Amino acid sequence: MSENNGRYHNKVYAILYPIIWIFMKLLHPWKAVGADNIPQGAAVICGNHTTLGDPLYVVCAMGGKRQTHVMAKAEIMKWPVVGFLLKKAGIIGVNRGKSDMGAVKECLRALKNGERLLMFPEGTRVKEGAVSEAQTGAAMLATRTGSPLVPVYIQPKKRRFRKTTVVFGQPYYPEFEGRKPSADDYQRIADDLLARVRALGEQAG
């Protein structure tokens, strides 16, 4: 895919998105707050993760005019048919608990092509209020590509046929001293990002 500011998405994504959108709109509707904060080009969008359906709420709330790549655990990509379609749609499977350079390269490529990347800095589903540590992947991807970070909060309590609030925060560029961020810089940026995500919960109602 050539440089396109994320305006073009592949054919499988283009087919699947409206199907998912209709399904979600009918059974699991959402309310987007701060959608104007979503950049037009590349961005690393990071949210809290309490339920399996969180990526669907965020992707639907952002709209389907631009490609959004979602990082998902590699196990999902092995599901029959579903995994095949997700991979074709640009979903990026990642092996958790170890350095997955293949997934990192895919994420870097997407961001450099001006596309959006959705990931969850806690690395797995975490119950609301539980103590968790921020992973540094989002910090690394944002600093290496010069992409902004966008915190997003998905309302943890979800009910069928009732709107789930999705709050998008202001995009920002992580700061660090020197030519390259250190491991401590990555962790500091990651911790700050997770704090910003949680702070948005006050706007979710």
pLDDT reported for residue 43: 98
Integer angstrom CA distances of residue 105 from 2, 57, 101, 125, 126: 16, 26, 6, 24, 26
For the stretch 172-191, pLDDT in tens is: 999 999 889 999 999 999 99
The DSSP letter of residue 172 is: B
**For residue 4, what pLDDT band results from cuts at 50, 70 and 90?**
low
Percent of the chain at pLDDT > 70 equals 95
pLDDT reported for residue 96: 77
What CATH number belongs to 11-69+110-203?
3.40.1130.10
Residues 6+ away with beta carbon under 8 Å from 157: 128
User: H or E segment at 164?
Assistant: strand 164-168
Q: What's the whole-number mean pLDDT along residues 128-137?
A: 87
